[in-house]
Chain A
Amino acid sequence: MIEANGLKKSFGEIEAVSDVSFTAQDGRVTGLLGPNGAGKSTTLRMIYGLLKPDAGAIRINGTDVHSDPLPAKSQLGVLPDGHGLYARLTAREHLLYFGELHGLDQASREARAQSLIDQLDMSGIADRKVEGFSQGERMKVCLGRALIHSPRNVVLDEPTNGLDVASTRKVREMINRLRDEGLTVLFSSHLMHEVSRLCDDIVIINQGKVIASGTPDEIRSQGGNDQLEDAFLNLLEASI
């Protein structure tokens, strides 16, 4: 479970996040939805502990991210905004390196890496250096290294950004599988149709504030439209 409470964050004069609170529950997919520049990435970065909020608190399964960072972080699997990989390491070596950093012993990290390689359908590329991988292949490696330590909470920052249809579908399948395993999945997107397909709960943020939250049905009624996309736009307009 991920709880965000009264988050605020400014960069100099610019207030990126002014009031964000929500809870992402176990066994549910929570979508953080908002236009570009709404404060989604900043919010997620506070959640996975790379930015310190000016006010407010974040708890991962009850552990405070900023007073107790290491135990909190070890319960999180993160696909951050930056999808950088080490060009000279193979896909498998990426997974093993991150498993090692998470303190997994050799046998369990090798077993876990193999199972992720199978799940993510990457046995053909697992032992190739990632240099020259396609966007979709790179995304698989990033997902794999985020999940290597079998986290109970998964945070994905725009996971389908820049992917083709087939890869997008793979990522969606992965998200559904994680939910079915009872994990907390929090992901951000600026695409309404993606969120509507995947999410059990939606948190809409705009200009650093949560302007609506709830199940897709609740969002429809709050936005006064049966079409989720129209409801979203109505809510955005109403918030300005």
Chain B
Amino acid sequence: MSIMSIVAKKEFRDGVRDKRALLSAFFFPLSAPLFIYFLLNAVIEMSQVDETVSVPIYGADAAPGLIAYLTEAGIEVDDRDSQTLDPQTLDDVKSQVANQTLDFALMIPEDFQDTMTSYRPPDLLIVSDSSRNDVAAQVGQLRRVLNQYNQELISLRLIARGVSPKVTIGARPISIDVASDQKRTANVLNFIPIYVLMAAFVAGLGIAIDGTAGERERKSLEPLLINPIRPIDIIFGKWFASGTFALLGMLATLVLCVVAMFALPIEEIGLSFEISTKQALALLMVSLPVPYIAASLQILLGLFAKSFKDAQSYIGILVILPMVPVIIRQFMPFVTEPWMAGIPIFAQSVLMMDVLAGSGYSFLSLGVALISGFVASALLCLVAARLLTTERMIQS
């Protein structure tokens, strides 16, 4: 067996036995998709309006016409039967909404009918708490129905005077959305590249640090270097073990994220999620080098640190690297250019978004990203091997 695989095998065995590191390595990959599932599920549920919105209404008796309209529009009237809408009742309702014993309320003034017939606009009070996301959809629904009611009322009044209701419309804005369902879904899916790439940086971290800063700290590096083996074999062995660990963590995250997306009822918010065989292949291709790049970066930096803690504190920061392009894209959208495939990490982050969106990538760019990723990783390993031969490695 080659020295590289001997070292890799030992590092792997050591890593698997390190229960605490194992837990922290795989806690993130396994928990992130679950977290995402429950979060998105809650978002979807909130954005859906129940068939019938039940609205607590005060002073319903004053406006039978309006109530009939609301009922017809599918709003369930929860009659609170208050004859007089005095300031006292208003304050009561406000405080009930504020302390959340009441979700929201519609308040109709007693003189609704009289004001109406004298062509003065009556005030319809919607008492709600705009900081509550869970009732926003219901309040919105109520508001839409009231607007419709208003429009119809205006139209009827104009028609009664022989005026076409169209005069009230200046210009009509019409939006044409060219985004496919899948593309719009990709917007929601931006979390997948972030989590998957983060997992690649997290899962192998412990084993990478243990094999570098850890070896120095426990003074086992000197006995290792005394053996008649080349430093490059030691580094590649450690790189392969840590990279493969990270790969497993990353694949677990990827698969779980995809499973979570399939399990979510996203079609209910007008989105669709599907993954073709081509996309699945592309996803694997684009993500494959990331754990190995992460491993080589962590090993190189780990050699500079004298202790495990020391290394952990600043190598952990590397985790944000793959998030940068995703965040940039959120605020400054850009189209993937061919040259971007040549920049490791950046390429993977950007291409993964494109693959999930189902457009903007080619197998050529994926291939370039794959090769440049592994080349960069190998170069970092060479630098690390060089560093390993320097005398500072064994000086404490």
Closest to B215 in A: A84
Of B218-226, B254-262, B368-376, the stretch lying at the interface with chain A is B218-226
A45-B394, A89-B13, A101-B6 are known contacts. Are A142 and B223 too (CB-CB below 8 A)? yes
- A50–B222 CB distance below 8 A: yes
Measured CB to CB, the closest approach of chain A to B144, in angstroms, equals: 64
In the complex, chain A residues whose CB is within 8 Å of the CB of B226: 48-50, 73, 76, 78, 80
- B220–A74 CB distance below 8 A: no
* Complex partner residue of B10 from A48, A81, A83, A97, CB under 8 angstroms: A97
Q: Tell me if B227 counts as interface (CB < 8 A to partner A).
A: yes
In the complex, chain A residues whose CB is within 8 Å of the CB of B121: none
* Complex partner residue of B218 from A11, A85, A100, CB under 8 angstroms: A85
**What is the 8 Å Cβ interface bit string for chain A, positions 75-98, against chain B (1 contact, 0 not)?**
010101111111111000100011
* Complex partner residue of B227 from A81, A85, A101, A142, CB under 8 angstroms: A101
- A82–B227 CB distance below 8 A: no
Q: List 5 A-B contacts (CB under 8 A).
A: A73-B228, A82-B222, A82-B223, A82-B394, A84-B220
A45-B394, A88-B14 are known contacts. Are A81 and B222 too (CB-CB below 8 A)? yes
- A50–B219 CB distance below 8 A: no
- B223–A80 CB distance below 8 A: yes
Which 6 residue pairs across A and B have the least CB separation, nearest first? A84-B220, A82-B219, A84-B219, A73-B228, A74-B228, A82-B222
* Complex partner residue of A102 from B220, B224, B225, B227, CB under 8 angstroms: B227
Sort chain B's interface into a size bin. Answer: 20 to 34
Q: Tell me if A162 counts as interface (CB < 8 A to partner B).
A: no
In the complex, chain B residues whose CB is within 8 Å of the CB of A233: none
In the complex, chain A residues whose CB is within 8 Å of the CB of B218: 84-87
- B14–A51 CB distance below 8 A: no
A49 to B6, CA, bound (A): 22
Interface of A toward B, CB cutoff 8 Å: 11, 45, 48-52, 69-74, 76, 78, 80-89, 93, 97-98, 100-102, 129, 142, 145-146
A149 to B10, CA, bound (A): 18
A83 to B220, CA, bound (A): 7
A82 to B3, CA, bound (A): 22
A180 to B391, CA, bound (A): 35
- B222–A100 CB distance below 8 A: no
- B6–A69 CB distance below 8 A: no
Q: Tell me if B230 counts as interface (CB < 8 A to partner A).
A: yes
- B228–A82 CB distance below 8 A: no
With A82-B220, A82-B394, A98-B223 given, can you name 4 additional A-B contacts, CB distance below 8 Å?
A50-B391, A81-B222, A82-B223, A85-B218
**What is the 8 Å Cβ interface bit string for chain B, positions 7-24, against chain A (1 contact, 0 not)?**
100100110011000000
Q: Tell me if B39 counts as interface (CB < 8 A to partner A).
A: no
Q: Tell me if B327 counts as interface (CB < 8 A to partner A).
A: no
Q: Tell me if B42 counts as interface (CB < 8 A to partner A).
A: no
- B6–A97 CB distance below 8 A: yes
In the complex, chain A residues whose CB is within 8 Å of the CB of B13: 89, 93
A69 to B223, CA, bound (A): 15
In the complex, chain A residues whose CB is within 8 Å of the CB of B17: 88-89, 129
In the complex, chain B residues whose CB is within 8 Å of the CB of A101: 3, 6-7, 224, 227-229
* Complex partner residue of B391 from A51, A97, A98, CB under 8 angstroms: A51
Measured CB to CB, the closest approach of chain B to A96, in angstroms, equals: 9
A80 to B230, CA, bound (A): 18
Closest to A157 in B: B222
A145 to B228, CA, bound (A): 13
Closest to B19 in A: A88
In the complex, chain A residues whose CB is within 8 Å of the CB of B6: 97, 100-101
- Most chain-A Cβ atoms within 10 A of its Cβ — which of B17, B226, B227? B226
A98 to B215, CA, bound (A): 15
Q: Tell me if B335 counts as interface (CB < 8 A to partner A).
A: no
Measured CB to CB, the closest approach of chain B to A68, in angstroms, equals: 10
**What is the 8 Å Cβ interface bit string for chain B, positions 298-335, against chain A (1 contact, 0 not)?**
00000000000000000000000000000000000000
